[in-house]
Chain A
Amino acid sequence: MLKSIPNTFIQDFPHWRKVELFRRLLYIFLFLNTLSLLPIAKEIWSYNGIIGPRGWNFGIPTIEQGSYALINVLSHPANNTYTWVYIVFIVAQLIFLVMGIFRFLPKISSVMIYFFTVNLFLKGGQMFTGGEVLVCLLLFYLMFIQKSTSDKWKISFKISSDEKPIFTFLQNVLNNSFYWMCLIQVCLVYFFSTFYKLLDWNWLNGSAVMYVSRIDAYSSGMNRLFFADNYTLALVVTYLLLLYQALFPFVVWIKKIKKQFLIFGVIFHLGIAFGMGLFTFGIIMCLVYLLFLDVEQIDRLVDRFRRKSVKV
């Protein structure tokens, strides 16, 4: 048991295809998400938009602000003069996302996608959800999961099962470490989400879903119809949600019931996406579940999807 711990980190990285599929789907989602926000891009991301800048501390030299300055570029007061900077960030994010989707210069594109995305998400934070926070963290971890072989000038979309990427020893250590960091990060989301809810009386007495469904910003779908005045149904759903979130960090490692458990999770998050209207959050959480599936399960899923597409 103890010996398997270091081996987990130094073994040949076995999850490459899964991570690549996840990375690609995440990039496609981010690309569509940014396109969907273009009509209000100025309002969200410009210095004098609906959302104000986060502030800039001139008391500390920029170089000493370190990572804070790097991810807070759109809040620098220079944006007030150079009002086009946010447009550069949007265009650059879209370009690098396309490069990432087609695996063109994968290392550079993953770093740039992180840089531009985190700056855009941080500036527009008031309009976003925990989903965007999770994406920033995952994009950071994904920067380190790479191939050692260099086919950086080759454009390819297909992730072939015959692909045999080569990893150096150090790259294997990085890939394994950051892969596990992605998984643990998602478990932490559920752990803390449950923990904070258990400190709140309205979650404990089962009325939280009923109250949330009465708030207009979260109840424009079927939520109000089902839960606003139906305490019993709301109580059942509140406890089901609590149970699911509490069990996630443990059950998701049990092979036998993982699939059924994640299917419930997908339904739960699609409910959040369409019922509550927190679309980005719901879809991101569904995407993240890919990381918890085995490669064989993903292959079966892709096969089924392909067969259905052919039929259509």
Chain B
Amino acid sequence: MSTRNKIRIGWVAFTLVVAHFAMIVIYAFPSNYMPESFKSVSQAYVYPVFEQSWSLFAPCPLVDGHLRVKYYFENDSTDWVNPIAEAEKMHSMLRFTHHADLVLGESNLLFWVVGDLQEMGLSPYESFPADSADAFRNTESYWRLLYYLNGNADYLYYKKPIRALTECSFENVATGEKGKMILPEFNWKE
């Protein structure tokens, strides 16, 4: 191959690398900083293989959440339990074990719950209004919780629940505001 052609190929490679990252930059920028038409073109290229956002800890998380569950099985039920109590204890002593992932998994889940509650116009520090139950059952966090609670019953008790009550306690670490709420019942028999 002639040197001239090699240099041409070098330029093509450079252009492709620039184009690749241009697409990613357009995709990863917040929507209000980038025209919608640009976004839709970049989405077609970036999603799903190069998907990324990198808003790591931004906005700063302000809500500390905890979850307790009361399971009802076919013939018995449990007290209110913290499904990751053991994981939290182990995680505080050890790193690089699966306990970290369990703790992070619940923390992420509660982050989504707070997001969905706020989107519904509800405060995470007040009790859950009964007339919002149906709306909550259409949120993503409800479906995530459904799997989370079902999977945890299997993990902790080796059996499938028929229903479960969930109590979330949230505290705003900036203002100190805190409260508890019982979410609408989770039912696997329906």
- Report A's interface with B, CB cutoff 8 A: 5-10, 32, 36-40, 42-44, 48-52, 67-68, 71-72, 124, 126-130, 133, 137, 140, 169, 173, 176-177, 180-181, 184, 188-189, 192-193, 195-197, 199-200, 202-203, 207-208, 211-212, 214-218, 220-221, 273-274, 277-280, 283
Say whether B14 faces chain A, with CB atoms less than 8 Å apart. yes
Tell whether, in the assembled complex, residue A130 and residue B64 are in contact, meaning their CB atoms are under 8 Å apart: no
Bound complex: CA A43 to CA B109 (Å): 15
B99 to nearest A CB, angstroms?
Answer: 9
Tell whether, in the assembled complex, residue A202 and residue B60 are in contact, meaning their CB atoms are under 8 Å apart: yes
B148 to nearest A CB, angstroms?
Answer: 5
Q: CB within 8 A of A9: which of B10, B57, B58, B103?
A: B10
A190 to nearest B CB, angstroms?
Answer: 8
Tell whether, in the assembled complex, residue B107 and residue A217 are in contact, meaning their CB atoms are under 8 Å apart: yes
Q: Please, which residue of chain A has its CB at the minimum distance from the CB of B160?
A: A48
With A196-B30, A277-B91 known as contacts, the answer to whether A127 contacts B104 (CB < 8 A) is yes
With A192-B28, A193-B56 known as contacts, the answer to whether A211 contacts B61 (CB < 8 A) is yes
Tell whether, in the assembled complex, residue A127 and residue B174 are in contact, meaning their CB atoms are under 8 Å apart: no
- Name A's interface SS: helix
Bound complex: CA A274 to CA B91 (Å): 10
Bound complex: CA A208 to CA B50 (Å): 29
Please give, as numbers and ranges, the residues of chain B lying within 8 Å of A203 by CB-CB distance.
58, 60
Q: CB within 8 A of B6: which of A128, A169, A192?
A: A169
Q: Please, which residue of chain A has its CB at the minimum distance from the CB of B54?
A: A192
Please give, as numbers and ranges, the residues of chain A lying within 8 Å of B105 by CB-CB distance.
50-51, 126-127
With A188-B25, A216-B64, A220-B91 known as contacts, the answer to whether A39 contacts B7 (CB < 8 A) is no
Bound complex: CA A220 to CA B99 (Å): 12
Please give, as numbers and ranges, the residues of chain A lying within 8 Å of B100 by CB-CB distance.
277-280
Q: Which of B7, B25, B50, B60 has the most CB of A within 10 A?
A: B60
Tell whether, in the assembled complex, residue B103 and residue A217 are in contact, meaning their CB atoms are under 8 Å apart: yes
With A49-B147, A169-B6, A199-B30 known as contacts, the answer to whether A274 contacts B57 (CB < 8 A) is no
Say whether B59 faces chain A, with CB atoms less than 8 Å apart. yes
Please give, as numbers and ranges, the residues of chain B lying within 8 Å of A128 by CB-CB distance.
101, 104
Tell whether, in the assembled complex, residue B60 and residue A211 are in contact, meaning their CB atoms are under 8 Å apart: yes
Q: CB within 8 A of B98: which of A8, A39, A195?
A: A39
Bound complex: CA A52 to CA B105 (Å): 12
Say whether B13 faces chain A, with CB atoms less than 8 Å apart. yes
Residues of B140-172 whose CB lies within 8 A of A: 143-144, 146-148, 150-152, 154-155
A280 to nearest B CB, angstroms?
Answer: 8
A168 to nearest B CB, angstroms?
Answer: 11
Which segment of B15-23, B34-42, B73-81, B128-136 sits at the interface?
Answer: B15-23
Tell whether, in the assembled complex, residue B101 and residue A189 are in contact, meaning their CB atoms are under 8 Å apart: no
Please give, as numbers and ranges, the residues of chain B lying within 8 Å of A192 by CB-CB distance.
28, 52-55
Tell whether, in the assembled complex, residue B60 and residue A200 are in contact, meaning their CB atoms are under 8 Å apart: yes
Q: Please, which residue of chain A has its CB at the minimum distance from the CB of B56?
A: A193
Q: List 16 A-B contacts (CB under 8 A).
A: A5-B14, A6-B6, A48-B154, A51-B144, A51-B148, A68-B47, A128-B104, A181-B20, A188-B28, A189-B54, A196-B55, A197-B57, A212-B60, A277-B91, A277-B95, A278-B104
Say whether B120 faces chain A, with CB atoms less than 8 Å apart. no
Bound complex: CA A251 to CA B158 (Å): 53
Tell whether, in the assembled complex, residue B101 and residue A37 are in contact, meaning their CB atoms are under 8 Å apart: yes
Please give, as numbers and ranges, the residues of chain B lying within 8 Å of A283 by CB-CB distance.
96
With A43-B155, A173-B9, A188-B21 known as contacts, the answer to whether A211 contacts B62 (CB < 8 A) is yes
Please give, as numbers and ranges, the residues of chain A lying within 8 Å of B7 by CB-CB distance.
6-7, 10
Tell whether, in the assembled complex, residue A279 and residue B95 are in contact, meaning their CB atoms are under 8 Å apart: yes
Tell whether, in the assembled complex, residue A37 and residue B66 are in contact, meaning their CB atoms are under 8 Å apart: no
Bound complex: CA A133 to CA B55 (Å): 12
Bound complex: CA A68 to CA B43 (Å): 13
Tell whether, in the assembled complex, residue A202 and residue B59 are in contact, meaning their CB atoms are under 8 Å apart: yes
Tell whether, in the assembled complex, residue A43 and residue B55 are in contact, meaning their CB atoms are under 8 Å apart: no
Q: CB within 8 A of A184: which of B21, B66, B151?
A: B21
Please give, as numbers and ranges, the residues of chain B lying within 8 Å of A40 by CB-CB distance.
98, 101-102, 155
Tell whether, in the assembled complex, residue A193 and residue B13 are in contact, meaning their CB atoms are under 8 Å apart: no
Tell whether, in the assembled complex, residue B58 and residue A196 are in contact, meaning their CB atoms are under 8 Å apart: yes
Please give, as numbers and ranges, the residues of chain A lying within 8 Å of B59 by CB-CB distance.
196, 199-200, 202
Q: CB within 8 A of B151: which of A51, A212, A217?
A: A51
